Amino acid sequence: MAKQIEKTYNPLIEEAIYKRWLEKGYFHAEPDERRQPYTIMMPPANITGRLHVGHALTFTIQDILIRFNRMRGYNTLWMPGTDHASISTEVKIVDAMAEEGLSKRAIGREAFLERAWKWRDEYGGIIVQQLKLLGVSCDWDRERFTMDEGLSRAVYEFFIHLYNKGWIYRAEKLINWCPKCKTTISDAEVEHEDMEGSLYYFKYPIEGGGFIEFATTRPETILGDTAVAVNPDDERFMGVLGKTVIIPFIDRRIPIVADDYVDKAFGTGAVKITPAHDPNDYEVGLRHNLPIINVMNDDGTMNSAAGPYAGQTREECRGNIIADFKRQGLYIKTETISHAVGTHERCGEVIEPLIKMQWFVRMADLAKPALDVYNSGGLKIVPPRAGKIYAHWLENIRDWCISRQLWWGHRIPAYYCEACGKVFVGKEAPETCACGHKRFRQDEDVLDTWFSSALWPFSTLGWPEKTRELAHFYPSNVLVTGYDILFFWVIRMTFAGLEMMGDVPFHDVMFHGIVRDEFGRKMSKSLNNGVDPIQVIQEFGADALRLMLVTGNALDNDTRFFCGRLETSRNFLNKLWNATRFALMNLDGDEPRGEPEVMDKWIISRANQVSKEVTERVDSYDIGMAAQIAYDFVWDEYCDWYVEMVKPRLYNREDPTRPAAMRTLLDTLIVCLKLLHPFVPFITEEIFTILQDKDETLMYAAWPEYSEARFYPEEEEAVDRLKAAVKGIRAARLEMNVAPSKKINAVLVSSDEGVRGFFTDIQKSFAILAGAKETYVRADKTGIDDNAVSVVINGATVYLPLDELVDKDKETERLKREKKKLEAEVERAEKKLVNEGFMKKAPRELIAEERGKLEKYKKMMADVTEQIERLAL
RNA sequence: GGGAGUUUAGCUCAGUUGGGAGAGCGCUUGCCUUACAAGCAAGAUGUCAUAGGUUCGAGUCCUAUAAUUCCCACCA
């Protein structure tokens, strides 16, 4: 009894399928020493996050790799989780509190953390719920959170380990300060933006007479100046070197020093030195033993060291200083310049370099192994140019400031004796200090959120315990992510893994592009051009979204989001659905086997070849091309050709070749489903279930591997000939205005001996494809109606006798066009074959190939000429 | 200031070791052919950014130029 399914595919089934997968535990992986593991660590989603199309892309790619390898028989673990996202989350909570009129300070640390955990429980799972709609097959049983007890333990273990090695230290250094978030940030979090700015020229009076002119972009830092520097080779300043200048308004006396750092050509050649507020000036200050005067508060306002300007904001103070210089006649001019300004990548606030006591990770010894493992090939990065960026960053790495003046995160495991201030680093405060005191105060700061993310590849597997999971699944196979977190995360995971596990956290890193809007712009809140993937899934289904995001994209290229492309994907799914519908309509139940015909062998051979190509592409992370190859095979070869060819055999229940046709139709459909499953898991699973009529999942079905036994080159060539003939006939019919629905009585093939057998074998299919009732195959050309239109292909001429009188002029014209094309081909081949250089240096196979082509086209040209002559009679 | 990418049909993009320029969308023409009109068939469309070079042969390799995007960087 033939089964029936809807005429149009409806993706509404996705939800139920995902639920079934979950219930069956198909996503779960257990360590199994007898099996080869395949592991991906999912980049933990921020608990502040909602799913956006960028997530949809990265998780689709990972799911494709996971599903592919699961089908290939690997013991596949995809580890999911969420990240506490220290600063992002804290900012959100603070904002939410502000709406209630509350502040961090008002409610205190404990109450704040209570709120934060509540926030996490409430919003932390949103993205996880949304991910499920996308169809991701990660092991939810193992879901982790960066502030779980176990993961927190790993953080402290790592911190203490580095501290004991002397690689974590506390020091007063110049750091990046965000006056808005009121915390330090790392170098990686500073974004440098070129901005139009003003360069102000002023002069300081020199003690004993005269002035020295200088230029600055930041007049407010004049209050923290402790020197003026000039280049030691600059003759203009020889006379004033060593003299003292007076900073007006605050009457500070500072020296004029010589330092190589100063560029003679820039500005006036003299630079004001503010060690507390500029990295370069800080270095100069160290060299000349200059005092460091901090003139700013943590919120960016001027402090008491700013004298009369205390309490003003940076911007107010700047205006007032300029006005005061003018008033005293010490202002010279203002120039407009473009210069780089550092901003906080999270809030956009202009960064203030400040001197502060902070915790740092010494990077030199950690960076070296991470660089070595890359240079020696132990870590593969695709695309290769990303590897160069990785190496460059590590070669120029600076120490990592890890302390943050925040509350949400892992609190620094350092304790200070309340009596003598001595520092102890450990999981807990010691009993007694060396000074005999017993009371300690824990460091107030928390760690940079990436400090815990760095451990993700092994902390999630139970480290520092020696778990079976760790032994089996570490290191992971590949990390899939965007370029934006190369420095934040990828590099830090690498050195953390090498240091604590003695091995890379992943063998490969794959970077992909981003999803842009239809105009090629980045999606952003300010442009309001974001696409909500949940809405897309509701309208088109997750499969259509997934397929659209990856199909036909080069591996590291950005992709554009188009509604049109989404429709193309949906249409493809519908095509697949209808191919299934077609198969089901012809299915009888138990299908006997039979000896495959030429066309069966052709599609089997093609499916075999396509399996190989898809496998190779996915293996080399060329996901876009893999999807494209599978897509093209299903639509162009399976649906458009094979299904059409096989129809006469299926329609005739008496046809002895029917079982083989049915068998091949089904088998190939299943190969299609398998090849497509990693990309579009829902529809393929649904169809597989319908076809199998039993509760078996496609997720664990064996991946189609290439086999030499299913390679049929002769059948492939034969079907290529058939396709050429059919295409020629269709074109001729359209030109002669013979409607496709109009069946002509017969097509007649007169062919060379070599291919005659083939046309005899496929007579029925050929007739159907040509829109004729019958096909006759002959050696000679007897019985050709004067009224026949002819189509010449390689090795045969096909005649279409038409009922109506053929317009001989029109037909002659058509044939002449054909002849012209062939002439061009002949000419091209001949030109190559008389070229001495080509004959001497081209590979022998190529020459033989060209000779073959020449012969073929010459023969076809003769055949066409014969047809033209026939009409002329 | 340094580095990387991109430039191919009207639009969006493929093009794996150099060996006859491709897809999707759009467009034109003909079809509701018993899987699918979310479909079928047949078409049209390209100085492969520019200028040189290597080679028998260049979209593909080399050099320069232009446009564009991105990353890195402490010139006040």
Question: DSSP string covering A161-213, please?
Answer: HHHHTT-EEEEEEEEEEETTTTEEE-GGGEEEEEEEEEEEEEEEEBTTS-EEE
> Computed from CA positions of residues A731, A737, A743, A744, in that sequence, does the dihedral angle turn out positive or negative?
negative
Residues 514-543 of A with CB under 7 A from strand B: 516, 520, 522
With CA atoms as reference, report the closest residue to A572 among A540, A601, A594. Answer: A540
Measure, in angstroms, how far nucleotide B46 C1' is from residue A780 CA.
43
pLDDT tens digits along A648-658: 999 998 899 99
Residue nearest to nucleotide B57 (CA to C1'): A838
Residue A117 has pLDDT above 80, yes or no: yes
What's residue A196's pLDDT? 82
Nucleotides on strand B with an atom closer than 7 A to protein CB?
3-5, 12-15, 19-20, 23-26, 29-43, 55-57, 70-76
Residue A150 in tokens: 């176990």
Edge-first strand listing for the sheet containing A352-361? A183-185, A168-178, A352-361, A400-401
C-alpha span between A292 and A489 (Å, rounded): 34
Q: What are the phi and psi torsion angles at A278 (to 5°)?
A: -155, 130
For residue A808, what pLDDT is reported?
Answer: 83
Q: Which residues contact A621 (CB under 8 A, 6 or more apart)?
A: A65, A382, A478, A508, A510, A555
A535-591 pLDDT, tens digit each: 999 999 999 999 999 998 887 889 999 889 999 999 999 999 999 999 999 987 666
| Cα–chain center distance at A227 | 50
Q: Is the per-residue pLDDT at A681 higher than 90?
A: yes
CA distance A687 to A670: 9
Q: Which of residues 631-670 of A touch strand B (CB under 7 A)?
A: 635, 639-640, 643-644, 647, 651
Does A59 or A751 have the greater pLDDT score?
Answer: A59
Q: Answer for the pair A344, A185: CB distance below 8 angstroms, yes or no.
A: yes
pLDDT recorded at residue A872: 83
A663/B22 CA-to-C1' distance in Å: 33
Per-residue pLDDT, A805: 67
CA gap A775, A648 in Å, rounded: 13
Nearest CA to A558 out of A633, A484, A479, A478 is that of A484
Q: How far is the CA of A839 from the C1' of B13 (A)?
A: 37
Measured in angstroms, what separates residue A340's CA from nucleotide B70's C1'? 17
The pLDDT of residue A1: 45
Distance A569 CA to B60 C1' (A): 31
Decide if A552 contacts A692 (C-beta within 8 A).
no
The β-bridge partners of A177 are: A184, A352
Tokens of A381: 């990065």
- Whole-number pLDDT of residue A599: 95
Q: pLDDT at residue A809 above 90? A: no
Distance CA A827, CA A833 (A): 10
- Sheet with A476-482, edge to edge strand ranges: A380-382, A506-512, A476-482
Beta-strand ranges (E) seen in A47-205 are 75-79, 81-83, 144-145, 168-178, 183-185, 190-205
- Residue A352's Cβ-side half-sphere holds a number of Cα atoms within 13 Å equal to 26
The strand pairing partners of A76, in sequence order, are A38
Distance in Å from B58's C1' to A838's CA comes to 15
Label the pairing between strands A227-230 and A270-273: antiparallel
* Cβ of residue A337 lies below 7 Å from strand B: yes
Spatial contact of A685 and A698, defined as CB atoms under 8 Å apart: yes
Provide the pLDDT for residue A743. 82
Would the pLDDT of A764 be above 60?
Answer: yes
Q: How are beta strands A788-793 and A796-801 bridged, if at all?
A: antiparallel
Express each pLDDT in A143-185 by its tens digit.
999 999 999 999 999 999 999 999 999 999 899 999 999 999 9
CA of A720 to C1' of B56 (A): 31
Q: What is the pLDDT of residue A728?
A: 92
Q: Where are the alpha helices (DSSP H) in A693-751?
A: 713-735
Lookup: nucleotide whose C1' is closest to A829 CA = B20
User: What residues contact A468, with CB distance under 8 A and at least 6 apart?
Assistant: A31
